[in-house]
Amino acid sequence: MAKCAFIGLGVMGYPMAGHLQKAGHDVTVYNRTSAKAEKWVSEFGGSSAPTPAEAAKGAEFVFSCVGNDDDLRSVMLGDGGMFAGMDKGSVLIDNTTASADVARELYAAAKDMGISFIDAPVSGGQAGAENGVLTVMCGGDQDAFDRAAPVIDAFAKSCKLMGESGSGQLTKMVNQICIAGLVQGLSEGVNFGVKAGLDMEKVLDVISKGAAGSWQMENRGSTMVENKFDFGFAVDWMRKDLGICLEESKRNGARLPVTALVDQFYAQVQERGGNRWDTSSLIDLLARG
């Protein structure tokens, strides 16, 4: 069992850190809003620290799961940042969905200090985090991955090394791009069926096994028919992620016409107050003029 630190106890980080502790690791947590760190310790044991640096001190594996690129830099760099506390030879596993650029930048900075940095964004949502069955997409060095993978397993159902530094983030981008167009298509299909007066439960049942089938159809089709979105993966996060994808696409030259368009549709969902709605809420733009 290893000495670990976990920085960022949000919707995802809180249960992920919990799984590490429950798996027998010795976890020290840090959270900007300290009340959450205290709650975590009272629920799972382990301990908490007043800064990322102090949490990271002496840990073999240090995890982070914060909001975006800027958040990352602010918990990693500077006096009280993770890097300041970490030992040579330790491994930093970043579970934030962020840019490949920031991953490579932090990988290089870590390397200079003798630390291994793995970008390791996850998919599977809040439920996946709570049930410890996330998919973890890693980028970085093989040896660091080999050491970290058994620890990551505490909250993962699948954990793969996708390639060199940044590849975890790039894989997550592919994931998000696929979802944007898919959910818009699904929204148009479901809304069309509703407007056509079809019994949509029956329709979804019949078509979900075939060429139109998808995870989203099976897991969101019914709630879309009912215009229910108060759960799932928030539109605000989706827009942040699509922003990262669109930015990266300027560098690698991949065109994203429908993704760019759907990103603008998501902006309309936000305007309608849907910041925290599930990504399937695109259908709201079709259901209500």
Ligand X SMILES: NC(=O)C1=CN([C@@H]2O[C@H](COP(=O)(O)OP(=O)(O)OC[C@H]3O[C@@H](n4cnc5c(N)ncnc54)[C@H](OP(=O)(O)O)[C@@H]3O)[C@@H](O)[C@H]2O)C=CC1
Residues from 201 through 220 that contact its own copies (CB under 8 A): 202-203, 206-207, 209-217, 219
Q: Is 176 in the site for ligand X (CB under 6 A)?
A: no
- Residue 249: name its binding partner from its own copies, ligand X, none (Cβ under 5 to 8 Å by kind): its own copies
Distance (Å, whole) CA 47 – CA 19? 14
For residue 241, the minimal CB distance to ligand X (Å) is: 6
Q: Given CA atoms 144, 149, 150, 153 in this order, what sign does their dihedral have?
A: positive
Best CA proximity match to 281, nearest among 213, 223, 214: 223
Distance (Å, whole) CA 230 – CA 207? 25
One of 6, 233, 237, 277 touching its own copies (CB under 8 A): 233
For ligand X, the closer of residues 75 and 89 by Cβ is 75
Best CA proximity match to 48, nearest among 38, 56, 58: 38
- Residue 103: name its binding partner from its own copies, ligand X, none (Cβ under 5 to 8 Å by kind): none
For residue 131, the minimal CB distance to ligand X (Å) is: 13
Side-chain half-sphere exposure of 198, counting CA atoms within 13 A: 15
- Residue 212: name its binding partner from ligand X, its own copies, none (Cβ under 5 to 8 Å by kind): its own copies
Q: Which residues contact 278 (CB under 8 A, 6 or more apart)?
A: 220, 223, 229, 230, 231, 232, 233, 234, 235
Residues from 105 through 124 that contact its own copies (CB under 8 A): 123-124
Q: Is 155 in the site for ligand X (CB under 6 A)?
A: no
One of 54, 109, 126, 175 touching ligand X (CB under 6 A): 126
Q: Which residues contact 94 (CB under 8 A, 6 or more apart)?
A: 63, 64, 65, 72, 103, 106, 117, 118, 119, 120, 121
Which one of 69-77, 108-116, 143-151, 190-198 is the stretch in contact with its own copies (CB under 8 A)?
Answer: 190-198
Please indicate whether residue 88 is annotated as part of the active site. no
Please give the full DSSP string across 90-150, using - where no structure is assigned.
-EEEE-S---HHHHHHHHHHHHHTT-EEEE--EESHHHHHHTT-EEEEEES-HHHHHHHHH
Q: Is 74 in the site for ligand X (CB under 6 A)?
A: yes
Interface size with its own copies, residues (CB under 8 A): 81
One of 93, 170, 224, 234 touching its own copies (CB under 8 A): 170
Residues from 13 through 52 that contact ligand X (CB under 6 A): 13, 31-33, 36
Distance (Å, whole) CA 281 – CA 186? 11
Binding characters for its own copies, 3-42, by CB under 8 A (x = yes): ----------------------------------------
For ligand X, the closer of residues 44 and 194 by Cβ is 44
One of 21, 48, 96, 191 touching ligand X (CB under 6 A): 96
For ligand X, the closer of residues 71 and 153 by Cβ is 71
Catalytic hit among 3, 157, 172, 209:
172
Q: Which residues contact 38 (CB under 8 A, 6 or more apart)?
A: 48
Contact 170, 248 (CB under 8 A): yes
What is the token pair recorded at 191?
């809304």
Binding site for ligand X (CB under 6 A): 8-13, 31-33, 36, 65-67, 71, 74-75, 96-97, 122-123, 125-126, 233, 237
- Residues belonging to the active site: 172
